[in-house]
Amino acid sequence: MRQPTRAGVRDAAAKVAAILPPSPIYVHDVGGVAVTFKAECLQPMGAFKLRGAWHRLTAIDPDVRDKGVVAFSSGNHAQGIAWAAKRLGMPAVIVMPADAPRSKREGTLALGAEIVTYDRDSESREKIAAHLAHARGAILVPSFDDPWVIEGQGSAAIEAMTQMVEAGLPDPSHLVVPCGGGGLAAGMTLGLPDAAITVVEPEGWDDMCRSLEAGWIEPVGDNPPPTACDALQTKRVSERTFEVLARRDAKGVAVSEAEVRAAQRWAATKLRLVVEPGGAVALAALLARKVAPQPGMLVVLSGGNVDVDAYSAALAGDR
Amino acid sequence: MRQPTRAGVRDAAAKVAAILPPSPIYVHDVGGVAVTFKAECLQPMGAFKLRGAWHRLTAIDPDVRDKGVVAFSSGNHAQGIAWAAKRLGMPAVIVMPADAPRSKREGTLALGAEIVTYDRDSESREKIAAHLAHARGAILVPSFDDPWVIEGQGSAAIEAMTQMVEAGLPDPSHLVVPCGGGGLAAGMTLGLPDAAITVVEPEGWDDMCRSLEAGWIEPVGDNPPPTACDALQTKRVSERTFEVLARRDAKGVAVSEAEVRAAQRWAATKLRLVVEPGGAVALAALLARKVAPQPGMLVVLSGGNVDVDAYSAALAGDR
């Protein structure tokens, strides 16, 4: 099993820097400490996912690129793959549940991908995607359990470190990062070999937190609570992502839905950024002081793709 | 009367570039045309106003800087002046109505300025500010009727043009820009000598539109309608700003409150940016096709300081 490496993260960072300007960083006072925020929500398709997609797709032999790429996702991974495939002139097929939100279907279609739908209750997206990939000779790209994808997401860390140094800020010494399957968290951990790591998940979906405490992979329990963090609803992390985080003694914390909404309000009024629920969990942990602000802290705002009605309600609520 | 010049705008752009990274530009498809958006809402204090403030305050003789600066404003100009003064180590006094929104008071205080309040019904902010400036030997900085302020705001045009060229986009050939007193519009017009200009105002507050049509300055009428665009509630433009725009045959259009809200929703979902009502009027004119999208079009999103309740309601409404 190929493992993601720091060298691979650095390679991914160079590849991403060749096609995209760095996503901005913002420094803001939190409890008397200057904290750095990395605005991955401002990427062209609204999330960090194009990093891993670009690193993976550019690693495909040019001779077989015309066979295309297949992914299953109803969200940001789909749009990241579609974005990278379009840029490389590759066909992309996204396997998506028939009841996926229209905004996400439209975002994926607008990037030129083909969508194949399945019935969430009776069909397996993994099987459909594997079948499609086999039939077409296309490459299947997982959303996090893939060394290139992990390395690609990690490019955000190299980029942020460079920006912090250029801005005269301290080197990033503590990373606080949203965690679904752990691709972004593991990749950025590889990119920052000297930083302490905290991964953040929604309450009830904090399987990486519990896995890191236990020392082995624990899946999400049966009947997890509803969460607005659609981007973080991963039922089981992978050995690849878990191993990277466990080896670095990463800690995990869980945040409530109300804490996530408070973070979305803070981002809107203090940074003027639209951050989706799953993209706001690391900020939520900081604002709720589940992580203490400290110099050199780097907090990732990982995505900004919102349903406008739900977003409006999140900004209005809880007061 | 000193007039703002293109040379002054270029000088301002160099001064601003020395202390601030460029605000990002975003290219998005509107009606099949790639339109460029300049995100001034992502400036450190949330609006373009720090440009004019910086150009003006750095033009003050260092020997008298310790006397400080005075401005009257309840909004973005106050925060722009406070931001620039703090950076220069100058005292700043802001004259603000006693009933100004708490978020704006707090934003100004957080930047280290002193606030002097007045009663909106019985006192004149102009007189209070002039008296304070005289008593302290401080410099009074108007929000738009000032050659340095106009030139400073215009630095956004030089910056955007550079960014567009670097991104391989066409030179900006048509500027669409929000207009209150006209400082930003006039400054950017000076910065783009070959571009067509459209200024945008809220309906009922479209005095620059009417002035440009009439050929002389027309003030806002009695009892103008309520508008969410607090940043654009200027009752009379100045000769300095009007002359620049009239000489270039600028056109004006007015947008409705519903069109402004639609623009705020579009910016949140397509660009993941929080844009305040007054900052969204140029985008509103484009989306309502009151201005036809065309290649080389540059649309300014001029500010992002929102009251979160009003913003949430704007995102929710009208459907």
pLDDT cut 90: percent of chain A above it: 90
pLDDT at position A212, please? 98
Residue of B nearest to A271 (CA): B42
Contact list in A for residue B275 (CB cut-off 8 A) is 272
CB contact under 8 A, A316 and B306: no
Over 70: is that where the pLDDT of A319 sits? Answer: no
Cβ-Cβ contacts under 8 Å, A46 against chain B: 272
Which H/E stretch holds residue A140?
A: strand A139-140
pLDDT band at B274 (very low <50, low <70, confident <90, very high): very high
Which residue from B265, B274, B316 is facing A268, i.e. has the nearest CB?
B274
Instruction: Give the start-end residues of each E strand in A6-128.
Output: 25-30, 33-39, 69-72, 92-97, 114-118
Structural domain boundaries in chain B? 6-48+146-316, 50-140
Gap between the Cα atoms of B177 and B245, Å rounded: 12
In the predicted model, what is the mean pLDDT of residues B161-178? 96
Contact flag A268-B306 (C-beta cutoff 8 Å): yes
Rounded CA separation A25/A296 (Å): 13
Asked if B316's CB is within 8 angstroms of A313's CB, the reply is: yes
> What's the pLDDT score for residue B171?
94
d(CA A88, CA A188): 25
**Closest by Cβ to B316, choosing from A269, A272, A312:** A312
Q: Which of B21, B274, B313 lies at the smallest CB-CB distance from A273?
A: B274
Helix (H) or strand (E) run with residue A104 in it? helix A102-110
Query: Looking at CA atoms only, how far is residue B236 from chain A in angstroms?
Result: 29
Q: Which residues contact B304 (CB under 8 A, 6 or more apart)?
A: A272, B41, B42, B46, B47, B273, B274, B275, B276, B279
Contact A269 B315 (CB under 8 A): no
Dihedral pair phi/psi, residue B234, rounded to 5°: -100, 130
- Across the beta sheet with A174-178, what order do the strands follow? A25-30, A33-39, A297-301, A174-178, A196-202, A251-255
Of B42, B265, B308, nearest to A308 by CB-CB distance is B265
| β-bridge partners, B34 | B29
Confidence of residue A107 (pLDDT cuts 50, 70, 90): confident
Tokens of A194: 């000297």
**In the predicted structure, residue B183 carries a pLDDT above the cut 80:** yes
A280 touches chain B (CB under 8 A): no
The residue-averaged pLDDT of B170-183 equals 97
> Is the pLDDT reported for residue B12 higher than 90?
yes
Helix axes of A207-214 and A239-247: crossing angle, nearest 10 degrees: 60
Mean pLDDT (whole number) for B311-315: 96
pLDDT (mean) for B176-187: 98
pLDDT for A1: 74
pLDDT at A61: 93
User: How far off is chain A from B103, nearest CA to CA, in Å?
Assistant: 9
Put simply, the answer to whether A308 touches B269 (Cβ < 8 Å) is yes
Chain B contact set for A304 (CB, 8 A)? 272
Q: If DSSP states are collapsed to H, E and C, what string results for chain B? A: CCCCCHHHHHHHHHHHHCCCCCCCEEEEEECCEEEEEEEHHHCCCCECHHHHHHHHHCCCCHHHHHHCEEEECCCHHHHHHHHHHHHHCCCEEEEEECCCCHHHHHHHHHCCCEEEEECCCCCCHHHHHHHHHHHHCCEECCCCCCHHHHHHHHHHHHHHHHHHHHCCCCCCCEEEEECCCCHHHHHHHHHCCCCEEEEEEECCCCHHHHHHHHCCCCCCCCCCCCCCCHHHCCCCCCHHHHHHHHHCCCEEEEECHHHHHHHHHHHHHHHCECCCHHHHHHHHHHHCCCCCCCCCEEEEECECCCCHHHHHHHHHCCC
Neighbours of B138 (CB within 10 A): 23
Q: How does pLDDT run across A177-214, given as a tens digit for each residue?
A: 999 999 999 999 999 999 999 999 999 999 999 999 99
How close are the terminal C-alpha atoms of chain A, in Å?
50
Write out pLDDT tens, residues A239-290. Answer: 999 999 999 999 999 999 999 999 999 999 999 999 999 999 999 999 999 9
Q: How far apart are CA A113 and CA B161, in angstroms?
A: 33
Q: Do A6-47+146-316 and A50-140 share a fold?
A: yes
Q: CB distance from A102 to chain B under 8 Å? A: no
B124 Cβ under 8 Å from any chain A Cβ:
no
Give per-residue pLDDT as tens, A139-187: 999 999 999 999 999 999 999 999 999 999 999 999 999 999 999 999 9
For B43-93, what is each residue's pLDDT tens digit? 999 999 999 999 999 999 999 999 999 998 878 999 999 999 999 999 999
Q: Which fold does the domain B6-48+146-316 belong to in CATH?
A: Rossmann fold (3.40.50)
The pLDDT assigned to B318 comes to 67
Fold that domain A6-47+146-316 belongs to in CATH: Rossmann fold (3.40.50)
Residue B101's pLDDT is what? 75
pLDDT the model gives residue B319: 54
Instruction: Please tell me the distance in Å from B111's CA to the nearest CA on chain A.
Output: 12
CB burial of residue A21 (10 Å; 0-12, 13-18, 19+): middle
> Are residues A111 and A121 in contact, defined by beta-carbon separation less than 8 angstroms?
no
Query: Looking at this predicted complex, what is its ipTM?
Result: 0.93
Test A41 with B272 for CB contact under 8 angstroms: yes
* % of chain B exceeding 70 in pLDDT: 99
pLDDT at B11 over 60: yes
| Phi, psi for residue B277 in degrees, rounded to 5 | -55, -50
Tell whether domain A50-140 is in CATH 3.40.50.1100: yes
| B183 touches B44 (CB < 8 A) | no
Model confidence pLDDT, tens digit, residues B216-230 = 999 999 999 999 999
